[in-house]
Every structure is written in structure tokens, then in C-alpha cells.
Structure 1
Amino acid sequence: MVEHDHSELTPAEAELYDRQIRLWGLENQKRLRNSKILIAGLNGLGAEIAKNIILGGVKSVTFLDHQIVTENDFASNFLVPRDCLNKNRAESSFSRAQALNPMVEVKIDTGLLSDKGEDFFKLFDVVVILESTIAEQIRINNICRANNIKFYATDMWGMFGFSFIDLQDHEFVEDVVKHKIISKPNEKIKTEIITTPSKRSLKYPSLESVINFDYNSPSFTKRMKKSGPAYLVMKILQNFREDEKRDPMPSSREEDINKLLAIRNGISSVEIVPDIYFEHVFAQISPSAAIVGGAVAHEVIKAVSQKEAPHFNYFFFDANNSCGFIETIE
């Protein structure tokens, strides 16, 4: 958990973060300044998350990524220069990320996520995981739950993206807006807006508990018909990653679409998840990465600063409907 910072902001920090302090308050900015964030996976989505968190003014951001830069990265990762092809993604993202905010310490780790144990994750207040398998996400989420670390799992395939949040027992302050009547009796009614801070709390379920429920039940099928098939699309894409040890690739487009449809047919129906959902899941698209990355980074900032109600507990961006929405699954 982020420790409370009793020190005052320096004049340079106060000037740089002036707009944010006016938005969410000095004490919340101090909480941000004292937080240490891990981002594992520096693809286009990871770059968008990193940008917004670094600009927010946290203490440090660690980039964990063992993969090399490919041509696909240039379509969405603005932190990677063109001359970094075949170099490590985390190292290649360092210079531009650090230039965003010199007051934030940017650290690089080129190791494997699967090699990191409990002692590593205990170094952070927030852990954001991208491009990993479900088994790996569950392993890390359980470590985070045991150590009161805020956990985010997020991914993007083409124009489709999601995030899962586990803040365990989370307390926050939310402004409650009321209208107060200020007019005198027998006068035309006049009101003014009164904003009162209210302390709230939420208890989040673990990833393991929500990922293993029966999504073929009649109640869930009815729910998907109403809210859309985003959850099942996510499950299908995650199952593809588990089976193929990779994500769908443009170079094997037709073959991969057939594999995705076969997975879909095994867990759902065409009526719930139409074929069109698998036409645009190849390589990350920059505008979609900006939307999902902005949403995830905003949630991280809200959770650390303890200001405003956080998402509970899934966020989906469905580009087929040009819609981002929150889905609660317990």
C-alpha cells in the first residue's frame, strides 16, 4: 500500500502538477508521488498506460519486457524509435518515456515475467500485466492479493481491448452532489449545488474466482445478449494465446481466424459472438490503444490517489460498437 507522504512538494513539482492538484487535491498528488508502478509488457497499449502514469507524477515506473522490437510495434508504440528494430522493447522505450517527465524515475528490467517471484512484486504498489497467459495472471494476482498490491491485467488485440482490476479491500473518497434550496418561502425555487466528500469502500474478487465461473449458464447467456459478447471475445482470444503460445498474426490471418472460430464454437454460439468480431484482432491499432491505455492509466491514478470510484471490475472496449463499458463479474 502506498505510504502517506508528509513532505511538501518542491516548487518545481508544485508548478508542474498545478493543474492536477487543482483537479484532485494536494494530498492525493502526494500519494501519487510516493507510488511505485510496474508495467510488464511494452507494446502499444503498455506505452499508452506508461505515458499517462508518468505524466501523472508517480515516484517511479518500471518497464519489464524481454521481447524485441518488431515492425508491428511501430504501428502503435510511440515510445520506440524507428532505429530500434530488433532491440529490447523496454530499453528502446526508455528515452522517450523519461523525457515525458524527468521528475519520475523510469527503470528497466529485461527479464522474463515468469521468472519473477513474490519478492520482486513486493517492490511495487501497483502491478500492470500485459501479454501474459491466464495462468500467469492468476499467479501474479494471488501474490498481489497476499501483499495488498493493486493488480491490473489488460490486453489488446487489434481494435478490441479489456482490463481487469483487483484492488482487494479498497477505500476511496467520492464527491456526493446535492441540490440545496436557497430561495425564500413563496419565491421561485432557487437551488445551489453542494458537494460533500463521502468515504466509500469496495471489496474486489480475485481473478481466479471470476475467470472460472460458468459462462454457459442461461443467466450469463442472457446477460451477454443484452450487454454484448465482449467478455466471451476476451475468453476466446485468451484461449487462442494459451493454445498457440502467441496472438493472432496478420501473416497467418485466414488460418488464425479459423482457429478462433473453432474456439468460439466450443464455448459459445454464432448468435452471441458473430464472426465479424475476429476480423480485426490482428496487431494493435493506435487509436484503440489510446482509449484502453487512457482508461487503465486513469484507473491506476484513481486507485493510488484514492479519489473517485474505480471500475468494478472489468472494462471492455468493443470497437465494433465504438463503445467502452464497465462489466461487473463476481
Structure 2
Amino acid sequence: MGDKKNIMNNTELTKDEIELYDRQIRLWGISAQQRMRSSKVLLFNLGGLGTEITKNLVLSGIGHLTIVDDHDIVDEDLDTQFFLSLEDLAIGGKRVDKAKHRIQDMNPRVKIDVKYNLLENLEKELSQYDLVILTEVNDKLDIIQINEITHSLNIPLYVCGCHGLYGYIFVDLIKFDSKDEKLKNGNFSTKLGKLSNNREVIEVTDKIDDLDPTKIFEKIVTRNYYKTFQQVLQTARVSDISFTKKQMKRLTPAAPVIFASLFDDRSQKDFLSMANICKIIKKLNLPQEYTVSKEFLDNFKNNQLNLEFSPVCAVIGGAVAQDVINILGKRESPLNNFIIFDGTTLEMPIFEF
């Protein structure tokens, strides 16, 4: 990620940009803002999730956002879209065309492009960007195809989806070094080595505070390793994650159901059958006492599946956008690598598969 061409070609921020982004520059520094201003992001689809992600990225000051979406405006868009109006619905047309000028109005300094689809040479198209985000992509083969390309090109990928009160995020940053700083606790020093299967501390240095020499800070570099989407589908095991008993008790019943929607061919009628969910529970190696009720499953199939609910879109879209801003700018510890949100309990555990 650090050697991507656009991020490294940092140009100086103008005086107006420094004033506009003053609050966030104070938070993560001018060099981070410059990296964000130099970045090119590709976003698939401008539904509820895409709208939330777009808003946050454009207001943060990324340099270039391209949105790919071929959907016509429909009634449902007005439930989750604040870039579209009743007048737009009455006139009709592509939702990206109607939304573009309103997106641009939020921050005229960001270059906004819209496309209905990508060219046949997908690898050539994707290679132009520093980061790719997929929303409303429900075919696992499409996700796998795009992820194979982004992974080979060392381009970070985020995949996210909403199912009513539930949602998920998948992250593949390939390999990413995060940098954190914390006050040293007495004589205790952070040790080098593995923190988990996907993370290891590779560098620790001490820094004496300029104003108070009695304070010593540790600058810690943690290397994060990521699996592809296909690897996660093939190898995901909840038992490999260090959840406490309390965390396991709170584990949402949506977990195996969401995985079933990603694992299996949705054209098959039984992909959300109870028999198939039991197979997924076994595949994920969940505890024997873990169950999904028929009532929950029927509700998910009939009322939640593929439904975008604005408050959940705001949570998922906000989490994705924040992590994107983080890796483009601040370089603190990123998400690694699968997150499920349960809007009924407000739990959002990170599954490090």
C-alpha cells in the first residue's frame, strides 16, 4: 500500500485546503491529508451503503472518487438516499447521474467521476486506483474475481453489505504496517512477535516526550496480513479466534446466515434452509450450544435479506469510510478482516479469519 503511485506523489495543500481541513489536519497531520488528497478510490454502487461511504470520503478530502452504478432510480432509493429527490424519481434516469452534482457540491475540490460499468479489461481499469470498495455485490464469483485482481495488484479491497438490521464488512489490505504510539507502562516494554495469526509486532522504539522527559512513549509498528475473500470462505473457523465465553454467548445468530448468503449460490432455493445453516455452523466450527432458531431464519429470509435500512447503512458505511480514511492517512491499526453488525444488540465483533 505504501508504494502505490498516487499516494506517494503528494502535492502541497493550498491555503484554502488547509483552512477547510483544519480540524482533521490537527488530528492526523498534514502529510496524511496530502496522501488522502492524492488518492483515487473506486466505489461500486450508490445505494444506501454507497451513499454513506461517498459522503464520508468526499467530506474527508480524498482526491478522486469514481462511482460505478448502472441502476435506474426506483422508489426504494428514496428510503436510503439523501442525494436523490422525489423530482429525480419522477423524471427517472440513472441514480449516479442525478446524484453526481449533489455529491460534488459537498466538496468541489474532490474529482467525481461516474460510470455505468467498467470496460472489458477489468484488470487495466482496477489498476488505475489506490483502493476499491464493493457494495451491493451479491454474487460471490464477482467478488472473488475482483479480489483476485486487486490482491495481485496490491490494491486494498473492502466488501460490505446490508441485510436489514444486519450487515458485514470484509477487508483485504494484502499486507499493511500500522503505526501506533502509546505511553510506556513503567519498565514494561511491548514485545516483538505474533499477536495473532494475522498480526505481529515488527518494530518497537522508545520516544522521550519533548515537554516532559519523564514520559516515554513507545512507537509500535504492527504488520497485518490478510486473506483473500475466497480464502476466508474456504478456511473461516470461529474456533480459531480468541473469543471469551462472554463474547461467544453474545455472538449474533446472523453470523452463519450471512456467511450462507456469501458461501452459496443464491439461485439455489435451499441456500438459507435450516439444513444448510446447520452445515455452515459446523463449517465455521461454532460451539455445539450455538443455534439459529427457525423464527430468526424465516424473519431473515422474508424481511431482512438484501434490504438496506438507513441506520444500519450509516453504521456499516461509517465504519468502512473511517477505515479507508485511516489507511490512506493516519495509518493506525486497520480492521482485520471480517466484521458482522447486529442492529438488534448493537454488537459488532471483528472475526480475524
Smaller-chain TM-score bracket: 0.7 to 0.9
Q: CA deviation at 1:156?
A: 0.6
8 A Cα contact 1:302 1:308, kept in partner: yes
Count of residues in correspondence between the two structures: 306
Q: CA deviation at 1:118?
A: 0.2
Alignment partner of 1:273 is 2:292: yes
Structure 1 residues 106 and 6, CA, compared in 2 at 3 Å: closer, same or farther? closer
Indicate the percent of aligned positions where both proteins have the same amino acid: 29
**Residue 89 of structure 1 is aligned with which of 84, 92, 95?**
95
Name which of structure 1's ranges 165-174 and 267-276 shifts more when overlaid on structure 2.
267-276
Q: Which residue of 2 aligns with 1:78?
A: 82
Q: Which residue of 2 aligns with 1:228?
A: 252
Structure 1 residues 268 and 34, CA, compared in 2 at 3 Å: closer, same or farther? same
Alignment of 1:1-330 (within 5 A): 1=4, 2-85=6-89, 86-111=92-117, 115=120, 117-132=122-137, 133-179=139-185, 194-213=216-235, 225-226=248-249, 227-238=251-262, 242-244=265-267, 260-262=272-274, 263-265=276-278, 267-268=280-281, 271-274=290-293, 275-276=295-296, 278-279=299-300, 280-281=303-304, 283-329=307-353
Name which of structure 1's ranges 191-200 and 54-63 shifts more when overlaid on structure 2.
191-200
Between the aligned partners of 1:75 and 1:102, the Cα distance in structure 2 is 26
Letter matched to residue 123 of structure 2: E
Aligned-residue RMSD, C-alpha: 3.0
TM-score by length of structure 1 reads 0.83
Q: Secondary structure at the match of 1:32?
A: helix
Q: CA deviation at 1:67?
A: 1.3
TM-score by length of structure 2 reads 0.78
Letter matched to residue 3 of structure 1: I
Between the aligned partners of 2:322 and 2:214, the Cα distance in structure 1 is 30
8 A Cα contact 2:10 2:35, kept in partner: no
Between the aligned partners of 2:220 and 2:184, the Cα distance in structure 1 is 12
Q: Which residue of 2 aligns with 1:252?
A: none
Q: CA deviation at 1:138?
A: 0.9
Unaligned runs of 5+ in 2: 188-212, 283-288
- Give every structure 1 segment of 4 or more consecutive aligned residues whose post-TM-superposition deviation is greater than 6 Å: 217-220
Letter matched to residue 264 of structure 1: I
Structure 1 residues 243 and 21, CA, compared in 2 at 3 Å: closer, same or farther? same
Between the aligned partners of 1:112 and 1:10, the Cα distance in structure 2 is 33
